[in-house]
């Protein structure tokens, strides 16, 4: 089975979570997609680079999610 890079999973989670929330009109459903992709990416980051790197990258993922809210309100 082909491996998908964790960065691609994280990016897909951010974009896909927004898309799901926008398309369905249900923000919690978008949050589920975002959390699922973030969990998978965090697992891979931990497996490949260790817990410290995984914690930092997960924090960056959450910051990107939080930072996207003001941007989404402008559209």
Q: What is the pLDDT of residue 29?
A: 94
Distances (CA, A) of 7 to 14, 26, 47, 50, 55: 11, 26, 14, 15, 14
pLDDT tens for residues 40-59?
999 999 999 999 999 999 99
| CA Rg value for the chain | 13
Low-confidence stretches of the chain (pLDDT beneath 70): 1-2, 72-75
pLDDT at 4: 82
Identify the pLDDT of residue 69.
Answer: 78
- Residue 75: per-residue pLDDT: 55
């Amino acid at each position: 089975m082909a491996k998908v890079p964790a960065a691609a999973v994280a990016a897909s989670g951010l974009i896909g979570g927004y898309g799901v929330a926008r398309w369905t009109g249900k923000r919690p459903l978008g949050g589920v997609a975002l959390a699922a992709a973030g969990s998978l990416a965090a697992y891979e980051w931990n497996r490949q680079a260790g817990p410290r790197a995984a914690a930092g990258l997960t924090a960056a993922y959450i910051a990107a999610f939080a930072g996207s809210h003001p941007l989404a309100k402008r559209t």
